Amino acid sequence: MAAARESERHFSHAVQDYAKAIYVLEERDDAAVTTNALAERLGVTAGSASAMVKRLDELGLVHHVPYRGVGLTDDGRRVALEVLRHHRLLERFLSEE
């Protein structure tokens, strides 16, 4: 039931971009993601990344431990995977044109 509710929620593009970036960095490094790595990946300041991580934590999309890093919750992972799926479908559609 939680998965169904989560998929019905609409998140801002920024929230979706951060979730996707955290997912990609987690998969690449197999570890918690630092705010600096996240900021570098998204081309934003560390302060901006920290503010968004706090927001993602409040939304229940990440677990954040200060000075240790951030990781996606199950809900956050679902959001990130949905964003990745949409991006891949769009890329495929555009490449067929």
Name the residue with tokens 């970036």.
Answer: 21
Give one DSSP letter per residue of 25-78, joined into a string. HHHHHSSPBPHHHHHHHHT--HHHHHHHHHHHHHTTSEEEETTTEEEE-HHHHH
Q: Is residue 1 part of a domain?
A: no
pTM for this model (two decimals)? 0.82
pLDDT in tens, 48-84: 999 999 999 999 999 999 889 999 999 999 999 999 8
pLDDT value at 93 more than 80:
no
pLDDT in the model for residue 97: 65
pLDDT in tens, 36-47: 999 999 999 999
Q: Which domain holds residue 80?
A: 12-96
Q: Is residue 41 part of a domain?
A: yes
pLDDT in the model for residue 95: 77
pLDDT value at 4 more than 50:
no
Domain of 65: which CATH number?
A: 1.10.10.10
Q: Is residue 70 part of a domain?
A: yes
Q: Is residue 2 part of a domain?
A: no
Q: Is residue 46 part of a domain?
A: yes
